[in-house]
Structure 1
């Protein structure tokens, strides 16, 4: 994939990994598994969706991963599904 097709450079990807550190241990465990198994295979659209999920509050994101709430935005669902499987 060329740089033009992939707007996320190495620095931005590292920032996203750093921002993936959360304040809740349970959420950290899920996200660490996700980063190890799925992050490098995400499409550009999924990277945008994941970056949007990183703006969520920790408790809301944990509730989302634990199926206690659902996201209103369908474009987030592929990444949510991957997080839930992690």
Structure 2
């Protein structure tokens, strides 16, 4: 389902996405900024994919974010791959 998350659900999702490893937190924050920068909000589909990634240990998540490995087994789903692709995109470089 691709319906936008309401403010309360988005707040809960942000809280759930807090990680113990700074590197993971940086990827997660960049994801939230990227999705919300165009005035959009995260969809329920993206939230499902993100929650599946948040169930991983910090080291396993970092391996996926750095493309050291790809999603396998129950993580090999379109919603997880969509979120992972957004999280892996580098920040756009601003011209000076």
TM-score by length of 1: 0.79
Specify whether residues 31 and 46 from structure 1 end up closer, same or farther in structure 2 by C-alpha distance, changes over 3 A only.
Answer: same
- Residue 18 of structure 1 corresponds to 15
Cα distance, 1:10 vs structure 2 = 2.5
Aligned-pair Cα RMSD in Å = 2.0
Q: Distance in 1 between matches of 2:52 and 2:28?
A: 14
Matches within 5 A, 1:45-64: 45-64=45-64
Cα distance, 1:7 vs structure 2 = 8.0
Gaps of 5+ in 2: 91-96
Q: Distance in 1 between matches of 2:8 and 2:50?
A: 16
Structure of greater Rg: 2
Gaps of 5+ in 1: none
Specify whether residues 7 and 28 from structure 1 end up closer, same or farther in structure 2 by C-alpha distance, changes over 3 A only.
Answer: closer
TM-score by length of 2: 0.72
- Residue 94 of structure 2 corresponds to none
Specify whether residues 7 and 82 from structure 1 end up closer, same or farther in structure 2 by C-alpha distance, changes over 3 A only.
Answer: closer
